[in-house]
Amino acid sequence: MVALAEQTAELLHGLGVRLESPGQHALTVRSPVNGEMLCDVPTCAMETAFSAIEAAHRAAIAWRRVPAPKRGELIRLLGEELRAHKAALGRLVSIEAGKSPSEGLGEVQEMIDICDFAVGLSRQLHGLTIATERPDHRMMETWHPLGVVGIISAFNFPVAVWSWNAALALICGNAIVWKPSEKTPLSALACHALLERALTRFGDAPDGLSQLLIGGREIGEVLADHPKVPLVSATGSTAMGRAVGQRLAARFARAILELGGNNAAIVTPTADPDLALRGVAFAAMGTAGQRCTTLRRLFVHRSVHDGFLERLKAAYASVSIGNPLDGHLVGPLIDAAAFSRMQAALDAARTAGGTVHGGERVGIAGCEGGYYVRPALVEMPGQIGPVLEETFAPILYVMRYDDLHEAIALQNDVPQGLSSAIFTNDLREAERFVSDDGSDCGIANVNIGTSGAEIGGAFGGEKETGGGRESGSDAWKGYMRRATNTINYGSTLPLAQGVSFDVG
Ligand code: NAD
């Protein structure tokens, strides 16, 4: 196989990335596939971050005057670039984030999907007309751009999350400034280069409309603190969201927070066992447990528990673990620190009375520098200890339940609230689960696992997951400000609520 560094250099070249000399403060990028160094990337100095935000601010003032459907044309062109370079960008994501080819390509497809969605949306940014109590008056809502939207993203979806934010923010008339994960700057450089190409083809977009700032948390903090960034959309751990959210709240700026999940599924007595097994296996082991929507807790009804667990153990024992670029289903963890956190969680589970199956490091020939693990199944006596936390690795805690209300209560009884699922063929159980009395998560599925959302719906979660919504439905409203306008087309001035104030 051609060395990954060499492949990466070719991919970057084809995607239009011209790397500058890394200079003093270089970021060394490694592939989690085998630990190989891919290249050094220059990082952004503080003063560059400040001037980038100023430039984006100037661009936003011009961009907001471009009609929204015309702004949509830019995103249509971005979608074309993504379609043309899907294979290369997907491969780059696979190398840099350690995903299988189908998952790397799937992430780019998600970008294409949000571009299509945003193009249509650019003709649908609508407000209400509302009945007014005053004669010869009209009341309506109008939606306006915010200005500069800051985007902070995580390593595990290095390109899709940016596109969810970028496509909506841009058609809504904002400029964007992106601080990607320091673990995946190459995919970010590639996205930025593709958007630059779309901007060149677009022709007359203002300079500085899209900015990319490579660096660590200190650059994210600049976005969180800068008075010319009225909205920051931040995706990552709950610890990061807590820090960023407090900084934004301190200056009354807006936040879209997309944070950690601790997602659960319930397998009921009437569940289709084959469908449930496939749904659980993909949600728990896919992307090596490194999706925010990864299934981490499983409640199985006592009457079907033992049989289901046996089948699950067999699936876990037989899943192919190895180089994701060769199509293995379970690829590597992102780095050594992720492996240590996984082992610490498994130790804590044992201490709490859990029985652990799997979880050990697996040696892969030719990928000795990568951190591959057998996904872990942990039989737990109850929802205690590490079960209450998100460990960003493939660990599935399995517990029994007797009564659906008890299972739903346990499912909800964690600090996080991102995704949830029930496997059942009982209409009452399914409806209960999605009712007011059911799952408290932002995503509640029936006969589908917790992961693998599509862009048409709003994406996000409750409680410590942050409460933000991105992507489809009316998530666009988060990128705009609403004004209520009342217009008097009569010749008198009736006051609301019958108030009189006669002067002169
Ligand atoms: P992370 O929190 O370590 O980093 C995420 C981003 O935040 C990075 O760009 C990082 O540089 C930046 N950052 C970290 N601390 C910061 C601070 N104090 N101020 C400003 N910026 C800061 O997360 P990660 O390890 O890259 O990603 C995994 C986490 O992301 C998991 O918890 C996962 O559940 C979560 N995630 C959530 C979603 C979602 O939509 N809910 C999607 C993907 C990932």
Looking up residue 255, the CATH number of its domain turns out to be 3.40.605.10
Domain assignment present for residue 503? The answer is no
- Check residue 466 and report its DSSP letter: -
Interhelix angle 160-171/101-121, rounded to 10 degrees, is: 10
What pLDDT was estimated at residue 19? 87
The string of pLDDT tens digits covering residues 23-82 is: 878 999 999 999 999 999 999 999 999 999 999 999 999 999 999 999 999 999 999 999
Are residues 149 and 251 both part of a single domain?
Answer: yes
Domain assignment present for residue 350? The answer is yes
Pocket test for ligand 1, best of 29, 240, 342 (most atoms within 8 A of CB): 240
Domain assignment present for residue 501? The answer is no
Ligand 1 midpoint to CA 203 (Å): 34
Are residues 108 and 172 both part of a single domain?
Answer: yes
Phi, psi values for residue 367, rounded to 5°: -130, 40
The string of pLDDT tens digits covering residues 171-223 is: 999 999 999 999 999 999 999 999 999 999 999 999 999 999 999 999 999 99
Q: How far apart are CA 97 and CA 156, in angstroms?
A: 7
Ligand 1 midpoint to CA 384 (Å): 25
C-beta contacts of 37-44 below 8 A and 24+ residues apart: 37/5, 38/4, 38/5, 38/8, 38/95, 38/96, 38/186, 39/5, 39/8, 39/9, 39/186, 41/185, 41/186, 41/189, 41/214, 42/214, 43/214, 43/215, 43/216, 43/219, 44/213, 44/214, 44/215, 44/219
Interhelix angle 404-412/427-434, rounded to 10 degrees, is: 30
Q: Ligand 1 within 6 A of 443 CB?
A: no
The string of pLDDT tens digits covering residues 14-24 is: 999 998 888 87
Are residues 104 and 201 both part of a single domain?
Answer: yes
The string of pLDDT tens digits covering residues 323-353 is: 999 999 999 999 999 999 999 999 999 999 9
Ligand 1 midpoint to CA 79 (Å): 26
Structure tokens at 201: 């083809």
CB atoms within 10 A of CB 216: 14
The string of pLDDT tens digits covering residues 230-276 is: 999 999 999 999 999 999 999 999 999 999 999 999 999 999 999 99
What pLDDT was estimated at residue 1? 60
Are residues 438 and 476 both part of a single domain?
Answer: no
Are residues 211 and 283 both part of a single domain?
Answer: no
The string of pLDDT tens digits covering residues 135-159 is: 999 999 999 999 999 999 999 999 9
- Report which protein residue has its CA nearest ligand 1's atom 12: 217
Are residues 441 and 320 both part of a single domain?
Answer: yes
Reduce the DSSP state of residue 382 to 3 states and report it. Answer: coil
Are residues 110 and 130 both part of a single domain?
Answer: yes
The total domain count for the chain is 2
Q: Ligand 1 within 6 A of 260 CB?
A: yes
Please determine, for residue 375, whether its predicted confidence score (pLDDT) is greater than 90: yes
Are residues 287 and 186 both part of a single domain?
Answer: no
CA of 155, closest atom in ligand 1? 26
End-to-end CA distance of the chain: 89
Are residues 235 and 299 both part of a single domain?
Answer: no
What pLDDT was estimated at residue 25? 83
Q: Ligand 1 within 6 A of 259 CB?
A: yes
Q: Could you give the angle at the alpha carbon of 92 between the alpha carbons of 86 and 97, nearest 5°?
A: 120
Are residues 471 and 405 both part of a single domain?
Answer: no
Domain assignment present for residue 495? The answer is no
Domain assignment present for residue 407? The answer is yes
Structural domain of 12 = 4-259+466-483
Are residues 291 and 157 both part of a single domain?
Answer: no
CA of 392, closest atom in ligand 1? 31
Nearest to 377 by CA among 400, 360, 397, 392: 397
Average confidence (pLDDT) over 75-96: 98
- Looking at the chain, the whole-number percentage of residues with pLDDT higher than 70 is 100
Answer yes or no: 258 catalytic.
yes
Catalytic residue, chosen from 258, 429, 464, 470, is 258
Please determine, for residue 287, whether its predicted confidence score (pLDDT) is greater than 80: yes
Ligand 1 midpoint to CA 237 (Å): 4
The string of pLDDT tens digits covering residues 289-306 is: 999 999 999 999 999 999
Are residues 153 and 280 both part of a single domain?
Answer: no
Average confidence (pLDDT) over 408-436: 98
Proportion of the chain in helix, strand, coil states, percent, rounded to 5: 40, 20, 35
The residue assigned the tokens 């190409």 is 197
What pLDDT was estimated at residue 128? 98
Please give the torsion angle defined by the CA atoms of residues 384, 390, 394 and 399, in that order, rounded to the nearest 10 degrees.
Answer: 30
* CATH code at position 328: 3.40.309.10
Report, in angstroms and rounded to the nearest whole number, the Rg of the chain calculated over CA atoms.
24
Domain assignment present for residue 28? The answer is yes
Average confidence (pLDDT) over 446-474: 97
Which amino acid type is present at position 321?
I
Query: Do the beta carbons of residue 370 and residue 305 sit within 8 Å?
Result: no
Domain assignment present for residue 188? The answer is yes
Domain assignment present for residue 461? The answer is no
